[in-house]
Amino acid sequence: MSWDFNGVSVWEGWEGPRETITHDEEEARKALLTLHRPVYAVSLDGQPGLTVEGRPVAGQGNAALLALAPALTPEALGDSDFKTCYGTRYACYGGAMANGIASVAMVVALGKAGFLGSFGAAGLAPERVEAAIRQIQEALPQGPYAFNLIFSPNETGLEQRLVDLYLKYGVPVIEASAYVDLSVPLVHYRLAGLQTDARGNILARNKVIAKLSRKEVARRFMEPAPRDILDRLLAEGKITEQQARLALEIPLADDVTVEADSGGHTDNRPLVGLLPAMLALRDEIQAQRRYPKPVRIGAAGGISTPTAALAAFAMGAAYVVTGSVNQSCVEAGTCDHVKNLLAQADMAEVTMAPAADMFEMGVKVQVLKRGTLFAMRAQKLYELYSRYTSIEEIPPAERQKLETQIFRRPLEEIWSETVAFFTRRDPAQLERANRDPHQKMSLIFRWYLGLSSRWAVNGEKGREMDYQIWCGPAMGTFNDWARNTYLAQPANRHVADIALQLLTGCAYLWRVQTLILQGLRLPATLQRYAPQSPLVTSM
């Protein structure tokens, strides 16, 4: 193996067993992977080599010390306060994926391995979420786990029902996602857990992780709860006078997850620009507010390889979050057909499509293009919604295409099903639709947008070309990294194992780059980390 050194050593010497110095590539890889021990680059007979034995010394020693990389284990990555706050071993969590794709099995597998997992409650009926709470609390009585709360401007009643469930069962952490503004139910959850200890320190029993991508939204979560919502909750008797006072002294969120180009709701922003901007905003607010503990900033969107995790931590992320890659795992609550499509996806095989939950607002989600026509058909629905004000205005030829190609049924039948659905879920939606034909059109079109994701989850036969599969470009980069390894096959993808592989590879690459930055030239093959065998067995 050809090695070289072009730096200027600031060290003097190394002392230890000369026979432990290796110039062999595989032995060097083992040394770099011995993460719990420092690795030394030394010059023996004029040739660089690596060892994890011995120690630096003043003077010549047994060999010249060229460079060193300290020990760094996966557990040591990230902010220790994050791990303490949530009771985890690792500064990494599995983000929520709606409709229970981030399933009970996924949250439990992550929790048992020392990772936080967020259950994908969005899109599920409260009864289903309640059952998931019971299952997860039984499997993880001491945690860690979180539940998702998604911004629901069209279904505020549903958002409040979920918060009521979380408070009833003492769910300790929520991951608030897709928020463009604060909601009363979200603030209620946070404030209902405020109290003080014997020394007067504020304790926030209800933790909030806000997942977002806009600075104006981040500011709202980094500031205390707004006064108007405090007054409303106080008037309704949902919080106490003491909780209202305490709320003015702490941020609304404990953590802000900066969501870059990701699957589902996303602004497609690059992490390399977004994360530093959010860190600067946090520091600005902290200088003004002087919170006892600053808001932590984590990174999501694109965290699908060890290199990406390393970049996030190097830019200052307190923790990292996985998303799209988890959807192809065994524990994901979606069908095998979807998992196989995801395992074949390339980085460019994603696109934007109208979102079901904020359809009228023109909000879009990022989805998979491979093997489905959902994005094209969903965009057609939004174009018709933008062009016409009622179903009756749609030209007969266009309506026939809708009924035969997209809905596959008469629109009258779709409306009947929509009425039955919202009668149970949110009758206020029907009241609006009866007054506003445009709103009625929206609800009919949302029938397709909503069911398309459930068809994908359930593996609905005959509807494969309509599957809505949330996915970011990270899925393609993961597949590139996993190619020719055991992780290439979906059957071998377990969520906790993947998370630990990413962190292990991150620590490995950090040590490699530490040596390179000191002038050591390593073979290209040593500058990559590939998973060789599972680090976490399925549980």
In angstroms, the CA 49 to CA 390 distance is 74
Spacing of C-alpha 91 from chain mean position: 12
Residue among 129, 32, 154 at smallest CA distance from 333: 129
For residue 6, what pLDDT is reported?
A: 73
For residue 45, what pLDDT is reported?
A: 81
For residue 532, what pLDDT is reported?
A: 92
Task: Identify whether the C-beta of residue 259 lies closer than 8 Å to the C-beta of residue 118.
Answer: no
Spacing of C-alpha 279 from chain mean position: 18
526: DSSP letter = G
Residue among 490, 493, 489 at smallest CA distance from 502: 493
For residue 1, what pLDDT is reported?
A: 45
Go through the domains of the chain in sequence order and give each one's CATH number: 4-73+499-527 (no CATH), 76-334 (3.20.20.70), 340-466 (no CATH)
Alpha helices (runs of H) in 459-494, residue ranges in sequence order: 474-482
SS3 percent helix, strand, coil of the chain, rounded to 5, is: 45, 15, 35
Which amino acid, residue 274?
A: L
| Helix 474-482 × helix 336-344 angle, to 10° | 80
**What's the full length of the chain, in residues?**
539
Helix and strand numbers (H, E) in the chain are 19, 20
The residues of the chain scoring below 70 in pLDDT are 1-3, 5, 7-11, 538-539
In angstroms, the CA 119 to CA 136 distance is 9
Residue among 79, 93, 99 at smallest CA distance from 496: 93
Which amino acid, residue 494?
A: H
Convert the pLDDT of each residue in 509-527 to its tens digit.
999 999 999 999 999 999 9
Please state the pTM of the whole predicted model. 0.94
For residue 93, what pLDDT is reported?
A: 97
| C-alpha dist (Å) from residue 140 to 93, 118, 536 | 15, 13, 18
For residue 494, what pLDDT is reported?
A: 98
The H-or-E segment that residue 215 falls in is helix 215-222
Residue among 116, 119, 118 at smallest CA distance from 88: 116
In angstroms, the CA 465 to CA 475 distance is 20
Backbone angles phi, psi at 168, to 5 degrees: -60, -40
